[in-house]
Structure formats: structure tokens, C-alpha cells
């Protein structure tokens, strides 16, 4: 009898491997790499490139003064870099809230690629025309045709260099963030990395580049100050500082002081112009090494005045010089010609740096301290004289010297009462009295030619307009060219349209100039560099125009407009 084999239950023959558990392979989970902030993206930003193109085109728009080809190239490159940085930041903020779609980005890139060549070509052509018209307006020769090619090359090189520096700083920021990420969250790590790189960059810029720049300027100015200009000789006359009888040694005057005392016209020249015998003029000066302190130098000048009989002259004029100690020879000579040499002109050095370096890098209080010390010492001696015997007391300041004079008196009323006449030529944007008077001008008068009917103050964009003054003679005259960036520069040009571009413009300000945020500020800043490289009557160049100002403030008896024109022609010849 057979045994019946029973079938195994269903599923019993399933593969053994299905029932035998496999050894588990350990699963390693890696944290996703932290997301970079949009500002740290390695891809170019569409908003950054777009704004860079716009800023690049706007950089060719005109400003107060013409720009030479290499300066225009640097301006264009830096302006484009500013636009790229601003656009990148704006784009990053937008993407944080609502990222651009891929299709939107592709279309934007195509539009930008098509529009950029056309925009650049149009603005290059317009920029060339604008610059030519501006040079013609200021009486300057036209530019060369090939300058445009060099300008574009310099601009691209400048932009590329700045972009390379920005990329290096961004890479350094990312590297610092990776280190900080080990101890703080990702967002805090990038904030810390950005702060560290910013501080290190500022320290490098300030302590290496800026410090070395001012150090080089200081060394160069010191060498120049120790020299003597061509044709400048030690005066033989006892009426000059630095002569043998003088209390001030010749070697202590500095380069500009030696030029000041030696540059007076001769009595024969003065007499030929005046048509009568002339007196030898007095010129007195104290250099930085003439005495140990500012007060001692001022006292030394007054003792020189007593020695030479300066207070017996018809006019005593105190000049506050520019940063280097320079006093414009045409300004001084014009007074001496007007009074046939019956004058005593005095000045004192407070620095040997150029005005821009003295203003930005050095302590501005130096010019204030020097101006206050000299004016106070002279005025104290002048006040001691009887009103019947006092000479006419005149004060003059040019550029940074105007700042020293205004800070000495602090208010317009005190400045007006401080002397018989005050002439301020090319006042700086930091001058407090100039700013106050400009803001309180009569309604309807332009900022470049304010009218102040209640004060004996006259502003002149064109010195010839001073010949037309009627009524009370002014006691304070400002000469300020409408195209002088030293007068019109300000920080709020970054975000605010200036008044000198609103309404009626100054005669030499081109109608093609318009205000653009950031761009106009940067252009006007660059105008400062070449403010002295333009013809007389434009930019920061005044020279013989002071004849009209002296004639308005303190003309000698019998002086006429014809005499003013004769003297201007003589000084310009």
C-alpha cells in the first residue's frame, strides 16, 4: 500500500532568500550643502549687467568741465562698476522675495544682448558731441578723433580690474563663511565673513593705499617747498621779508613765500601804468620754519610790518594762501598797480601740501588757526591806530584760504565788520558763511549769483558784472565760477538734484548736463581733478578777474572802468 504524500502548503516553496533577512547596509545621510545667498552667486546678475550698461552710457553725459580721454575712460569704467554692484544688490533682494523664472531670465538676456551694442554706440557718439561742445564753450581745443578708441579701451580695462577685485573679495567672503559655518548658522556665517572682509579691505585701503598716497604727496611737497622757483632771487630791498635787514630768514620762507616776496612789480613798472611816480610796494611773509608756533609766526609778520612802516601805507592787505602757501601773483600785483605801490601785502604759510591734500588728509584746523592768528595780530595793531591815520584794511582768501577766513569770523556780520573789504575767490563747498548767505538769498535769484539786498555782499560769476553795481559799495565780494566744482561739489549730489542744475543755469553750464543719482556725484568729483586746467574764468581759475573785485571793494581815488580794463589787459598780456 502506497503512502500518500501530501502537498506542502501554498507558498512553502518560496525562495529561501525571500525569508532570510538580508544584512542591512548602513545608510549614510549627508546634509545638503548650505545655499549661498544670491549675492554670492558665481553667475553674472542680469540686473547687475543691465544697470552697468545704463551707468556706462550715462557716464558719457557732460558735467561741469570737459574730461580728457583717459579720465573719461576711468570715469566710464568706475561708473559701470558702480552700476553693476548696485544692480547685483537690487537683483539679490528681488530674488529673495520672488525668484525670476528661467524663461524670464532668458528673454532678459536676449533683450540686453541686442540693446547693449546700440546703446553704447549711440552714447559714444553723443558723448563725443557733448564734450566737443563743452570744450568749445570754455574756449578749449577740440579732442582728437582717435581719443574715443582709447577711452573705450581704458574704460573696459578699468571695469575688468574692478570686477576682478570684487570677485576676489567675494571669494574671500565665501572662504571666511565656510570657516564660520562650523560654529554658527549659515546666514550668520556669511554676515560674519562679509564683515571680516569689509574691515580688512578698509584697513588695507586706508593704511596702505591712502596712507602711502598722502605720504608720497607729503614727501613730494616737502621737497618742492625747499626749492626755489626759476628766476626767483633773494630781494635786496629792505621792504621785503627774506632780505638782509629782514627779521625773517630767506631760507625759512618756503618756495611759495620766496616767490611771493620776490614777485612784486618794480616802481618803474607801476609808475608807467599809473602815469606818475610810484612807491616801492611792501611784501612780507612768514614760512613754516620762520618761527616755532603759529602765534610766533604771526607776531613775526607784525614786527616786520612795524619795521618796514607797513601801517603808513594807503592799503594793508592780508592774504590767506592756498594749501602750499601760494598766493596768486595777479591778485597781489593788481592791488599794487591800482595804488601805484602804496601798499603792504602780508601772508603766512600754514602748510606745504596742495589744497586737496590739506583739505582731505590733513587737519583743516591748520588753515583756520593760521588765518585767525595772522588776522588777529594785524587787526589788533591796526585797531590801535587812530581812525584818521589807519590804512585801508583788506582781506583776501583763495580756495582753502576762503575756508580759513570764514571759520575765523564764523558769521557774515563779523566778517563784514572785520575789515574795510573782503575778497573771497573760489570758495569751497565746506564754507559755512558762503552756504548760509546762499541759502538766504532773495527769492528768484539763482544759486550761482545770489542777491542779498540787505547786506553789503556781492556775488559774481562773471567779474565784469561788478562794474555794473549801483548804490552802496560792497564790503564782501565772492568770485565763484558757475563751472567751479570746488564751489558746487556736495555729498547730497548722490541722491539729490542740485539747485545749480535747477531753473536758470550759470552762463557756462551746458544745457546738456542733467542730474543722475550717483553718476553726477562721481562726475563732479572727477571734475575736481582738472578744475585748474581750464581757461581763466572757468573751473577754479580766476586770476585777473580780481581787478574788477578790488575796484568794487576799494578803488583808489579817481579810478575808472577804463583803468580796470587797462589793468586786466596788462596782467593778461
- In tens, the pLDDT along 60-94 reads 999 999 998 999 999 999 999 999 989 888 887 87
Question: Does 194 or 390 have the greater pLDDT score?
Answer: 390
Residue 355 in this model has a pLDDT that exceeds 70: no
Helix, strand, or coil here: 229?
coil
Crossing angle of helices 102-137 and 46-58, in 10° steps, is 10
Query: What are 332-344's pLDDT values in tens digits?
Result: 999 999 999 999 9
pLDDT at 94: 78
- Interatomic CA distance for residues 558 and 547, integer angstroms: 15
| Whole-number pLDDT of residue 284 | 98
The helix/strand/coil state of 521 is helix
Place of cell 579817481: 558
Measured CA to CA, the distance from residue 337 to residue 332 in angstroms comes to 9
d(CA 445, CA 506) in angstroms, rounded, equals 11
The DSSP line for 77-89 is HHHHHHHHHHHHH
Distance CA 394, CA 463 (A): 18
* pLDDT at position 175: 85
**Phi, psi angles (nearest 5°) of residue 442:** -65, 145
The whole-angstrom separation of Cα 234 and Cα 237 is: 9
Distance from the first to the final alpha carbon of the chain: 150
Q: Can you give the pLDDT at residue 18?
A: 47
Contact 461, 506 (CB under 8 A): yes
| Stretch (H or E) spanning 423 | strand 421-425
Return phi, psi of residue 396, to 5°. Answer: -135, 140
pLDDT over 90, % of the chain: 58
* Rounded CA separation 551/563 (Å): 9
Note the pLDDT of residue 16.
Answer: 44
| Region at 275 (left for phi over 0; alpha for psi -120 to 50; beta for the rest) | left
List all residues 6 or more positions away from 489 whose beta carbon is below 8 Å from its beta carbon: 429, 524, 525, 527, 528
Count other Cβ atoms within 10 Å, centred on residue 538.
Answer: 22
Q: Which residues pair with 348 in a beta bridge?
A: 286
Residues 365-379 have a mean pLDDT of 93
- What DSSP state is assigned to residue 321? -
Using only C-alpha atoms, the chain has a radius of gyration, in whole angstroms, of: 35
CB atoms within 10 A of CB 83: 26
Query: Residue 315 forms beta bridges with which residues?
Result: 343, 392
User: Are the C-beta atoms of residues 273 and 279 closer than 8 Å to each other?
Assistant: no
Most confident of 14-18, 53-57, 398-402: 53-57
pLDDT value for 503: 87
Q: What angle (nearest 5°) sits at the alpha carbon of residue 498, between those of residues 493 and 502? A: 150
| C-alpha grid cell, residue 288 | 613754516
Beta-strand runs (E) in 265-407: 282-286, 315-320, 343-348, 392-398
Q: Which of 284, 231, 229, 226 is nearest to 252 (CA)?
A: 226
Contacts of 149 (CB under 8 A, 6+ apart): none
Alpha-helical runs (H) found in 339-484? 355-360, 365-383, 400-409, 412-417, 432-439
Amino acid at each position: 500500500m502506497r503512502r500518500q504524500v501530501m502537498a506542502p502548503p501554498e507558498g512553502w516553496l518560496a525562495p529561501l532568500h525571500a525569508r532570510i533577512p538580508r544584512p542591512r547596509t548602513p545608510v549614510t545621510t549627508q546634509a545638503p550643502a548650505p545655499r549661498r545667498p544670491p549675492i554670492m552667486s558665481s553667475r553674472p546678475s542680469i540686473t547687475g549687467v543691465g544697470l552697468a550698461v545704463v551707468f556706462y552710457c550715462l557716464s558719457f553725459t557732460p558735467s561741469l568741465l570737459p574730461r580728457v580721454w583717459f579720465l573719461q575712460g576711468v570715469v566710464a569704467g568706475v561708473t559701470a562698476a558702480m552700476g553693476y554692484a548696485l544692480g547685483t544688490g537690487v537683483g539679490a533682494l528681488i530674488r529673495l522675495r520672488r525668484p525670476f523664472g528661467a524663461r524670464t531670465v532668458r528673454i532678459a538676456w536676449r533683450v540686453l544682448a541686442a540693446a547693449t551694442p546700440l546703446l553704447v554706440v549711440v552714447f559714444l557718439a553723443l558723448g563725443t558731441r557733448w564734450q566737443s561742445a563743452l570744450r568749445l564753450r570754455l574756449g578749449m581745443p577740440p579732442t582728437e578723433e582717435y581719443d574715443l578708441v582709447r577711452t573705450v579701451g581704458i574704460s573696459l580695462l578699468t571695469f575688468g580690474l574692478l570686477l576682478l577685485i570684487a570677485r576676489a573679495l567675494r571669494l574671500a567672503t565665501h572662504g571666511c563663511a565656510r570657516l564660520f559655518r562650523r560654529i554658527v548658522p549659515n546666514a550668520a556665517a556669511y554676515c560674519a565673513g562679509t564683515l571680516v572682509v569689509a574691515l580688512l579691505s578698509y584697513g588695507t585701503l586706508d593704511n596702505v593705499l591712502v596712507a602711502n598716497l598722502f605720504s608720497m604727496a607729503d614727501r613730494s611737497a616737502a621737497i618742492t617747498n625747499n626749492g626755489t622757483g626759476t628766476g626767483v632771487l633773494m630781494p635786496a630791498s629792505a621792504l621785503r621779508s627774506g632780505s638782509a635787514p629782514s627779521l625773517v630768514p630767506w631760507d625759512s620762507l618756503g618756495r611759495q613765500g620766496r616767490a611771493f616776496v620776490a614777485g612784486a612789480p618794480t616802481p618803474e613798472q607801476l609808475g608807467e601804468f599809473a602815469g606818475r611816480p610810484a612807491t616801492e610796494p611792501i611784501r612780507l611773509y612768514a614760512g613754516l620754519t620762520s618761527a616755532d608756533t603759529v602765534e610766533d609766526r604771526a607776531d613775526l609778520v607784525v614786527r616786520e610790518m612795524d619795521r618796514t612802516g607797513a601801517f603808513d601805507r594807503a592799503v594793508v592787505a592780508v592774504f590767506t594762501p592756498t594749501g602750499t602757501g601760494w598766493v596768486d601773483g595777479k591778485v597781489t600785483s593788481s592791488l599794487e598797480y591800482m595804488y601805484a605801490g602804496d601798499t603792504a601785502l602780508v601772508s603766512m604759510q600754514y602748510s606745504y601740501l596742495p589744497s586737496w591734500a590739506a583739505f582731505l588728509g590733513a587737519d583743516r584746523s591748520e588753515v583756520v588757526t593760521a588765518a585767525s592768528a595772522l588776522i588777529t595780530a594785524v587787526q589788533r595793531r591796526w585797531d590801535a591806530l587812530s581812525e584818521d591815520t589807519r590804512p585801508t584794511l583788506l582781506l583776501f582768501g583763495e580756495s582753502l584760504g576762503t575756508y580759513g577766513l570764514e571759520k575765523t569770523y564764523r558769521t557774515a556780520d563779523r566778517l563784514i565788520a572785520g575789515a574795510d573789504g573782503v575778497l573771497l575767490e573760489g570758495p569751497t563747498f565746506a564754507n559755512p558763511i558762503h552756504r548760509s548767505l546762499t541759502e538766504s538769498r532773495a527769492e528768484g535769484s539763482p544759486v550761482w549769483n545770489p542777491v542779498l539786498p540787505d547786506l553789503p555782499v556781492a556775488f559774481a560769476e562773471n567779474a565784469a558784472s561788478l562794474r555794473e553795481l549801483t548804490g552802496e559799495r560792497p564790503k564782501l565780494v565772492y568770485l565763484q565760477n558757475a563751472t567751479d566744482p570746488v564751489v558746487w561739489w556736495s555729498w547730497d549730489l548722490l541722491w539729490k538734484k542740485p539747485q545749480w542744475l535747477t531753473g536758470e543755469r550759470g552762463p557756462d553750464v551746458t544745457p546738456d548736463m542733467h542730474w543722475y543719482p550717483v553718476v553726477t556725484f562721481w562726475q563732479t568729483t572727477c571734475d575736481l581733478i582738472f578744475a585748474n586746467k581750464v581757461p581763466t574764468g572757468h573751473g577754479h581759475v580766476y586770476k585777473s578777474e580780481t581787478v574788477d573785485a578790488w575796484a568794487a571793494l576799494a578803488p583808489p581815488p579817481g579810478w575808472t572802468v577804463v583803468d580796470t580794463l587797462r589793468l586786466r589787459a596788462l596782467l593778461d598780456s
